[in-house]
A = this chain, B = another copy of it.
Amino acid sequence: MDMPAKPVTRIGTPTSDTKNLKTRGRDSLKDIVGKMSCSEAFYFIVTGKTPNETERNVFDSCLTILMDHGLTPNAVVARLVEDAVPDDIQVPIAAGILMVGGKFVGTMVGAGRLVSECVAKGGDPRSWAAETVARFKAEKRRIPGFGHPYYFPTDPRQVRLFEIAAEAGVPGKHIAAIKILSEEIDKSSGKHLTLNATGACGALLAEIGFPVEAMRAVAVVSRAAGLVAHIYEEKKNPITPAVSGFVNAIPYEDPA
């Protein structure tokens, strides 16, 4: 094996370095703690850029919209794990976020990647959209960010996210691209498909320059915070006994 490149990190100084307390070139205690909110610091530590007001508002809207959707399967998992491991709250949080995978949140990343490619490439977004629709059709794949089991014809969360982005004053190219994509999808199939909240998040995160490779992590961190509420509620007012009762009533059958 070749000699690896000399490793280096540009994130932060170690605790052992008591003379410097730095994060990405800034003084951690003067410029971050007491100055930045958690989401500003999160955006800063990933991108290396202090978010401006537009970026901050958009980033917070994506973080807050993904925080909770009631008793989703990952909330149920976190609660069942909490019941078994009640003294190590990081364990139920970890189990719950393991489910924030490609099947559900992957569509956010997919949508974010598509519109980023559109904007990076430049040119007419309408012809890009038509080509994209044709390509996914040929490959028999669903376009990420579209369709919803409950919301039709519009997902109110998508509407709200675009409203916030407009008020915040984003440049708007990525949002324009996903809207055009939505129109081309409908035109191609002859029927309407809902542009959903994860698709909208992908476009918003692309607007504020959050890297596509880390987009899913926005959902992970946000959901981690939401799961804490479920885990804490489970300690006071558990659903585990009811869920256990339900699954215990699922019958066992001998194989045929």
A99, CB-defined interface residue at 8 Å: yes
Integer count of this chain's copies in the complex: 4
Docked Cα-Cα span, A1 to B18, in Å, equals 13
Docked Cα-Cα span, A237 to B8, in Å, equals 8
Contact indicator A229/B45 (Cβ below 8 Å): yes
Residues of chain A in range 72-98 having any CB-CB distance to chain B below 8 Å:
72-77, 80-81, 83-91, 93-95, 97-98
**If A15-B69, A32-B64, A103-B84 touch, does A233 touch B90 (CB 8 Å cutoff)?**
no
Residues of chain A in range 181-207 having any CB-CB distance to chain B below 8 Å:
none
A123, CB-defined interface residue at 8 Å: no
Closest residue of chain B to A56 (Cβ to Cβ) is B37
The 8 lowest CB-CB distance pairs between A and B, nearest first, are: A4-B241, A14-B70, A84-B99, A38-B63, A25-B254, A38-B39, A42-B225, A7-B242
9 additional A-B residue pairs with CB within 8 Å, beyond A7-B239, A34-B64: A8-B251, A9-B250, A38-B38, A38-B39, A46-B228, A73-B80, A81-B95, A85-B99, A85-B102
> A interface vs B, CB < 8 Å?
1, 3-18, 20-25, 28-29, 32-34, 36-39, 41-42, 45-46, 48, 56-57, 59-61, 63-65, 67-77, 80-81, 83-91, 93-95, 97-104, 149-151, 156-157, 160-161, 163-164, 167, 211, 213-214, 216-217, 220-222, 224-226, 228-233, 235, 237-248, 250-255
